Structures are given as C-alpha cells and as structure tokens.
C-alpha cells in the first residue's frame, strides 16, 4: 500500500476515536438531555447495618423509603448483631445501626447517637414442614434423638434462647451453634436440623418451615433499637431514616411482617 494512503487511514482512525470519547463521557437522560454522571452521582447514599432477622422486612422498608425520598439510596448490610458491633468498633463505613437487642446497642454508646426501639419480636421453634418429628414444646428439644440447632450464645437470639431454656430448666445439646438467626433457619430449611429456635418473623418469611409457638409465659421479648452512628458520612440522612422507622409507614411494614409494636 502506498505510504500516503497509510497516513490517511491512520489520521481518519484518530479523528474517529476523538469523536467517540466525548460521546462516551456524556450520558443522556430519558428526555435526551445531557446527564453527566447521572442521577446516581447526586443521590445521597445511606448505609445501614442491620440485624439478620430484619433482612426481608428492611428490603421492603428500604424500597418504600427511597420512593418517599427519591434523592436517597439506602444500602443494607445484614449480619448477627455481635458482628455488626465488631464492624462499628473497627470503623466500618456506615451511617446507621439497628440491632436485635438493647444490650449490643448499649455497648456502643460511644459510637452512636441516642437509640430508639422500633420493634419487638418473640421466639418460636422452627421445624420442618408438617412437623415430622412432632415437636410440641420447648421440653421436646431436650430429646437427644432430635437434631437441634441454636444460635451461638453471643448472638442475641442465642442469648434469648438460652434464657428461656434455662428458665424452664431444659438442657439442650445443639448439633451446632450458628453466627446468626438466618443460619439457624437455613439449617432447618435444608433438613440439616430437626428444630431450631428463631424469631417468629423468620418462620413467617421463610415459607419452608413450620413454627411451634412458645407460650408468652415461657418466651423472651427481643427489642430492636436503631441509632445514627457518630461516624456517619451522612448524619442528617441517617437521622431522618432512624426517625422514619418509628413513623406510621415503616411501622405498618414491620407489623405486617409479624414484628410487634415497640
């Protein structure tokens, strides 16, 4: 190929690339107008650390909050409350915290603002669908032929579980102790355990297990406090979200999911 043709093709390629670069850097919105960076770039991003038992209901609550506050995007990180506390102490980037017990929240007073209880919950015994092992009460969990799984004692639901078992003088030898309530539930759902103590709302959300009720006189009440973290990047947005959790819309979502009034 003659040298002058090679030079022309090279120049044309360079011009083509130069024309494409500004088009790639500048997006269009639905109206065809320039939208550099898009709406996401200007949105307030809120990160909430939340107890594992809130996984399903908070996904719904987060969507409702974003609809009501279109300039805010809420991201949740779910884990056992003791894991969340460790994350806060290690300086994890987050704006608000919701635990499944007041004890864990009280231990973080140096890291949080004032806490508000937004909901309550109670324990049930999760069993396989149809209750094949015929579990009828807490006392049945002492049967050594039964594969029982509990949350670890440092987990709120594990602590509540041990409290109710001790009160009834029932000794249970679990086949495993799990890091959060959802792990307990999963063991029962998969048939790896015959029974496990979880929150009432967990069995309601599952659809794969049955719940054996524990009488109120033998039960424990879990309280869920919410607070803004002092290290919050978006303190105003975090305060607004925490206040919203006590409002009528959030309370309806929580109670429809089986949580009790605070």
Residues 130-141 have a mean pLDDT of 98
Token pair belonging to 176: 């495993």
Tell me what pLDDT residue 43 has.
85
pLDDT value at position 17? 35
Q: Give 4's pLDDT tier (boundaries 50, 70, 90).
A: very low
CA distance 78 to 168: 31
pLDDT tier for residue 91 given thresholds of 50, 70 and 90: very high
Q: Does domain 122-221 have CATH number 3.40.190.10?
A: yes
**What share of the chain has pLDDT > 90, as a percent?**
84
13-40 confidence digits (pLDDT tens): 333 333 333 333 333 344 444 444 444 5
Instruction: Label residue 52 by pLDDT band (50, 70, 90).
Output: very high
* pLDDT at residue 24 in the model: 34
pTM to 2 decimals?
0.83
DSSP labels, 185-240:
HHHHHTTS-SEEEEEHHHHHHHSSEEEEE--GGG--EEEEEEEEBTT-SSHHHHHH
Model confidence at 240: pLDDT above 90: yes
Judged against a pLDDT cut of 90, whether residue 155 lies above it is answered with yes
Question: What is the fold of 38-120+223-256?
Answer: D-Maltodextrin-Binding Protein; domain 2 (3.40.190)
Does 86 score more than 80 pLDDT? Answer: yes
- Same fold flag, 38-120+223-256 and 122-221: yes
Domain edges within the chain: 38-120+223-256, 122-221
pLDDT of residue 226 exceeding 80, the answer is yes
Give 11's contacts (C-beta < 8 A, 6+ positions apart).
Answer: none
């Amino acid at each position: 190929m003659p040298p002058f043709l090679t030079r022309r093709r090279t120049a044309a390629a360079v011009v083509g690339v130069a024309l494409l670069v500004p088009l790639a850097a500048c997006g269009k919105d639905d109206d065809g107008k320039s939208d550099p960076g898009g709406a996401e770039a200007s949105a307030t991003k809120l990160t909430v650390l939340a107890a594992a038992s809130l996984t399903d209901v908070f996904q719904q609550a987060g969507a409702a909050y974003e609809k009501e506050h279109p300039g805010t995007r809420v991201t949740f990180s779910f884990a056992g409350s003791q894991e969340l506390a460790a994350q806060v102490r290690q300086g994890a980037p987050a704006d608000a915290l919701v635990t499944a017990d007041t004890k864990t929240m009280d231990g973080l007073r140096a890291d949080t603002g004032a806490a508000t209880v937004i909901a309550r919950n109670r324990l049930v015994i999760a069993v396989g669908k149809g209750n094949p092992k015929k579990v009828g009460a807490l006392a049945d969990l002492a049967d050594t032929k039964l594969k029982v799984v509990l949350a670890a004692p440092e987990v709120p639901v594990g602590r509540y579980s041990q409290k109710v078992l001790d009160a009834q003088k029932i000794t249970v030898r679990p086949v495993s102790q799990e890091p959060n309530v959802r792990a307990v539930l999963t063991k029962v759902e998969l048939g790896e355990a015959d029974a496990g103590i979880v929150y009432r709302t967990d069995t309601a959300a599952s659809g794969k297990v049955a719940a054996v009720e524990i009488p109120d006189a033998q039960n424990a009440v879990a309280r869920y406090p919410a607070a803004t973290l002092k290290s919050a990047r978006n303190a105003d947005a975090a305060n607004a979200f925490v206040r919203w959790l006590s409002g009528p819309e959030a309370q309806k979502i929580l109670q429809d999911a089986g949580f009790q009034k605070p």
